[in-house]
C-alpha cells in the first residue's frame, strides 16, 4: 500500500511539474559554458547564467571570451550564442517573436512557423524575417552584419528598408554594412563551406556525446541486473574461493521420495562442488525413526534432533527423543574414488531415565573396501565401550573398543600444517595393510582464508569447511576428494562435532 502511494505521488508530482512547466517557460538556458551573464530586463543588473535558468521577454544574454550559451525557445527553436556576443529577447508572444543581436555571432535554428506568426532577428544593420530555418548572424565591431543561411529561407533588409528586401536561400550569405545599401546575396565560398562543415561536425559531436551519456546510463542499469545475479550466488554460498585460491561452485539439493529410492522417513542431501579441473560431490542420507509427512515436519524433526544432541552433549539427558536418526550414511566422491561412512540401526537406550542415542553398526569404506567398522557383540549395543566389536582393514580378527582405541592412537598422526593456532588440521592413518589415508579439515571463510583457532572457537559454524581426503587407495583427479561444504552439513552428517 505504502509503495503504491509513493509511486502515485511521484507520478502526480511529475504530471503537475510538467503542466506547470508547460505554462510558464518561454526560454530555457540548456547549456552555459564559461562566463555567461544574463540581465532579466533593462533595469536589472547582470547576473550569472546557469543551465536550467528560464528567461522571458526583455532578457539579455551576454557571453565573454570563451563563453557560450545555448537557449531553447518554447517552440523548440534553438539558439547558440557564441563567445563575445549579446542577444536581447525583445518580444516573445505566440504571434510575434523578436530577438535583437547587439554583437557577436549567434546561430539560430528556428522551428517552422505557423501561418500568420512572425519571427524576426534584428541587428544594428539588418532585420531578418524567418519562417523556419537555420542561419547565423555575425555582428562585427563596426556593427556590420553577416548573414549566412544554412537551411530554408530568410528575408533580410536594412532596418530602415533602404536597398529593399532580399531573399537569402540555403548556402547563401549576405553582408549589411553601416551607411551602405546591401549587396545581393552570394553563394558560400570554400571557406564558408569549411566553416559550416566544422559547425555541423561540432553539432554532431555534441549530439553524439549526449547519446553516449544516455547509452552508458542504460548500459549501467543492464549491467546491474547481471551483477545482482552474481551477488545473489555469492550470498547464497553457491560460489566461494577455496583455501588454494581456486573458485569452487557449490550446489546443494535435498532429495526425497520413492523416485530416489528413499523411504518416507528419509531424506538425502547432496552437495556438488565444481572447480576448473575437478568435480567432487557429497551426499548424506538420513533416516528418521518415524515417517516425515511434510517438508515442515522434516524441518522440525531435523531441528529437534539437532538440538537434542546438543543438549545431550551439555549433559541434559533426561529427554526421550521424539525424533532420532535410525541411520545416517554419507559418501564423498571425486567421480572416480569414493569414501563412504555411516551409522545404522540407531536406537535410544533408556538407562534409569538417562537417554542415550546409539547406533548398532558403523562403517568406513574407501572404494568399497571396508577400512574400519563396528558391529554389536550381541543383538544390540547399549554401551559402545562394552558392546561393540571393531574391524580394521589389514588387522586380523576383531577388536574391543579399548583395543581399537589403542590401535587408533598408535596409527594416527595429527598435525597442523598452517601452525598450531590455525584451523587447518591433518590426520594420517596407516591401516594394517600398510595403505595410508589422510583427512584434512580446513576451516575457511568464503574467500578461502583460514581463521585462527581462537576466532574459530567463537563460532564454528561461521566458516566453511574444506575437507580433503587422500591416500594410497585413491586413483582419481589429484588422488584426492576435495569438498567445500557448509559446516552444518558436515555436523549433521556426523563428520564434525
List binders of another protein among 205-244 (CB under 8 A). 205, 207-209, 211-212, 214-216, 218-219, 221-223, 225-227, 229-237, 239-241, 244
5 binds another protein (CB under 8 A): no
Stretch that binds another protein, among 83-91, 277-285, 322-330, 369-377 (CB under 8 A): 277-285
291 binds another protein (CB under 8 A): no
Give the three-state DSSP class for 262.
coil
Beta partners for residue 275, in sequence order: 278
Q: At closest approach, how far in Å is the CB of 245 from another protein?
A: 4
Quote the distance between the C-alpha of residue 345 and its chain's center: 49
Binders in 393-422 for another protein, by CB under 8 A: none
Interacting residue with another protein among 91, 153, 272, 418 (CB under 8 A):
272
Interacting residue with another protein among 116, 164, 245, 368 (CB under 8 A):
245
161 backbone φψ class: left, alpha, beta (φ>0; ψ -120 to 50): left
Return the closest-CA partner of residue 126 out of 68, 180, 80.
180
251 binds another protein (CB under 8 A): yes
Contact (Cβ atoms closer than 8 angstroms) between residue 61 and residue 34: no
Contact (Cβ atoms closer than 8 angstroms) between residue 40 and residue 28: no
Contact (Cβ atoms closer than 8 angstroms) between residue 144 and residue 123: no
Give the three-state DSSP class for 260.
helix
Q: At closest approach, how far in Å is the CB of 415 from another protein?
A: 25
| H helices present in 328-482, as ranges | 384-387, 401-411, 453-458
51 binds another protein (CB under 8 A): yes
Nearer to another protein, 309 or 389 (CB): 309
The alpha carbons of the chain give a radius of gyration, in whole angstroms, of 43
Quote the distance between the C-alpha of residue 491 and its chain's center: 33
Binders in 126-165 for another protein, by CB under 8 A: 132, 151
Q: At closest approach, how far in Å is the CB of 474 from another protein?
A: 18
Contact (Cβ atoms closer than 8 angstroms) between residue 329 and residue 346: no
Interacting residue with another protein among 14, 180, 406, 412 (CB under 8 A):
14
Residue 386 in grid coordinates: 562394552
Q: At closest approach, how far in Å is the CB of 291 from another protein?
A: 14
Return the closest-CA partner of residue 92 out of 110, 106, 67.
110
Stretch that binds another protein, among 52-60, 136-144, 160-168, 375-383 (CB under 8 A): 52-60
Interacting residue with another protein among 446, 472, 478, 496 (CB under 8 A):
446
Binders in 322-381 for another protein, by CB under 8 A: 335
Nearer to another protein, 111 or 153 (CB): 111
76 binds another protein (CB under 8 A): yes
Amino acid at each position: 500500500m505504502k509503495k503504491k502511494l509513493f509511486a502515485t505521488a511521484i507520478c502526480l508530482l511529475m504530471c503537475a511539474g510538467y503542466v506547470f512547466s508547460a505554462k510558464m517557460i518561454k526560454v530555457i538556458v540548456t547549456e552555459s559554458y564559461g562566463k555567461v551573464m544574463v540581465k532579466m530586463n533593462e533595469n536589472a543588473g547582470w547576473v550569472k547564467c546557469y543551465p536550467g535558468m528560464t528567461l522571458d521577454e526583455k532578457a539579455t544574454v551576454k557571453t565573454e571570451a570563451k563563453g557560450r550559451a545555448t537557449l531553447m525557445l518554447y517552440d523548440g527553436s534553438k539558439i547558440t550564442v557564441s563567445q563575445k556576443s549579446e542577444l536581447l529577447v525583445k518580444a516573445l508572444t505566440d504571434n510575434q517573436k523578436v530577438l535583437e543581436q547587439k554583437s557577436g555571432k549567434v546561430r539560430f535554428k528556428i522551428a517552422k512557423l505557423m501561418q500568420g506568426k512572425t519571427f524576426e532577428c534584428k541587428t544594428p544593420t539588418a532585420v531578418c524575417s524567418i519562417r523556419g530555418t537555420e542561419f547565423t548572424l555575425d555582428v562585427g565591431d563596426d556593427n556590420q552584419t553577416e548573414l549566412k543561411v544554412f537551411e530554408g529561407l530568410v528575408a533580410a533588409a536594412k532596418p530602415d528598408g533602404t536597398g529593399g528586401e532580399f531573399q537569402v536561400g540555403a548556402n547563401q550569405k549576405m553582408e549589411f554594412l553601416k551607411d551602405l545599401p546591401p549587396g545581393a546575396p552570394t553563394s558560400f565560398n570554400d571557406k564558408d563551406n569549411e566553416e559550416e562543415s566544422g559547425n555541423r561536425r561540432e553539432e554532431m559531436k555534441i549530439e553524439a556525446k549526449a547519446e553516449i551519456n544516455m547509452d552508458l546510463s542504460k548500459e549501467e542499469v543492464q549491467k546491474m541486473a547481471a551483477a545482482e545475479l552474481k551477488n545473489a550466488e555469492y550470498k547464497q554460498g553457491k560460489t566461494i574461493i577455496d583455501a588454494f585460491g581456486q573458485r569452487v561452485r557449490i550446489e546443494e539439493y535435498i532429495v526425497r521420495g520413492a523416485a530416489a529410492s528413499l523411504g518416507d522417513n528419509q531424506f538425502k542431501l547432496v552437495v556438488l562442488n565444481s572447480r576448473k579441473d575437478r568435480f567432487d560431490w557429497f551426499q548424506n542420507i538420513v533416516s528418521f525413526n518415524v515417517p516425515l509427512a511434510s517438508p515442515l515436519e522434516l524441518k522440525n524433526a531435523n531441528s529437534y534432533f539437532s538440538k537434542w544432541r546438543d543438549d545431550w552433549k551439555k549433559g541434559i539427558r533426561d529427554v526421550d527423543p521424539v525424533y532420532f536418526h535410525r541411520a545416517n550414511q554419507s559418501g564423498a566422491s571425486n567421480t572416480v574414488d569414493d569414501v563412504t561412512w555411516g551409522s545404522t540401526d540407531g536406537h535410544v537406550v533408556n538407562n534409569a531415565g538417562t537417554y542415550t542415542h546409539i547406533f548398532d553398526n558403523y562403517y568406513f569404506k574407501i572404494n568399497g573396501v571396508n577400512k574400519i567398522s563396528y558391529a554389536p557383540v550381541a543383538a544390540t549395543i547399549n554401551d559402545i565401550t562394552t558392546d561393540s566389536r571393531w574391524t580394521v582393514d589389514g588387522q586380523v580378527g576383531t577388536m574391543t573398543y579399548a583395543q581399537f582405541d589403542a590401535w587408533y592412537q598408535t596409527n594416527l598422526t595429527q598435525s597442523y600444517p598452517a601452525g598450531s593456532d590455525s584451523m587447518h588440521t591433518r590426520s594420517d592413518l596407516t591401516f594394517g595393510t600398510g595403505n595410508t589415508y589422510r583427512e584434512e579439515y580446513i576451516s575457511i571463510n568464503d574467500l578461502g582464508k583460514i581463521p585462527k583457532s581462537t576466532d574459530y572457537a567463537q563460532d564454528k559454524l561461521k566458516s566453511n569447511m574444506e575437507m580433503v581426503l587422500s591416500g594410497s587407495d585413491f586413483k582419481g583427479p589429484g588422488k584426492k576428494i576435495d569438498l567445500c561444504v557448509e559446516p552444518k552439513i558436515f555436523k549433521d552428517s556426523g563428520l564434525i562435532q
